[in-house]
Amino acid sequence: MQTKKLYRNPNDQMIAGVCSGLAEYFGLDTTVMRLIFVLLFFLGGNGILIYVILWILMPVQPTFLEGEILKKDDKE
């Protein structure tokens, strides 16, 4: 059984990779997660606060995860 871990994704980021990390964790499209944060911003202003808190708390996704090499974008 694999356990999911929440990481910021540095390979698919606009600002800090928070939305792409959350989208990967919950199995959503990155665009949907970004739209959720935009809606949170316009419907109460909490989107920026939540984003900054997650930016501080979420670790960056490491290159190696428990002995596995993550997929590289470059072709060999």
Paired residues of 65 in beta bridges: 68
C-alpha 61/C-alpha 70 separation (Å) is: 10
User: Could you tell me the two tokens for 43?
Assistant: 């419907």
**Counting every residue, how long is the chain?**
76
Instruction: Tell me the C-alpha distance between 1 and 58, whole Å.
Output: 23
Domain membership of residue 73 (yes or no) is no
Between 40 and 72, whose confidence is greater?
Answer: 40
| Tally of domains in the chain | 1
pLDDT of 53 higher than 70:
yes
pLDDT at 69 over 60: no
Residue 70 falls inside a structural domain: no
Answer for the pair 10, 61: CB distance below 8 angstroms, yes or no. yes
Residue 13 is assigned to a structural domain of this protein: yes
pLDDT in tens, 7-50: 888 777 788 888 888 888 898 898 998 898 889 889 888 888 88
Lowest mean pLDDT among 5-9, 44-48, 51-55, 65-69: 65-69
Distance CA 74, CA 8 (A): 21
Rounded distance between C-alpha atoms, residue 30 and residue 45, angstroms: 21
Of 33 and 65, the one with more pLDDT? 33
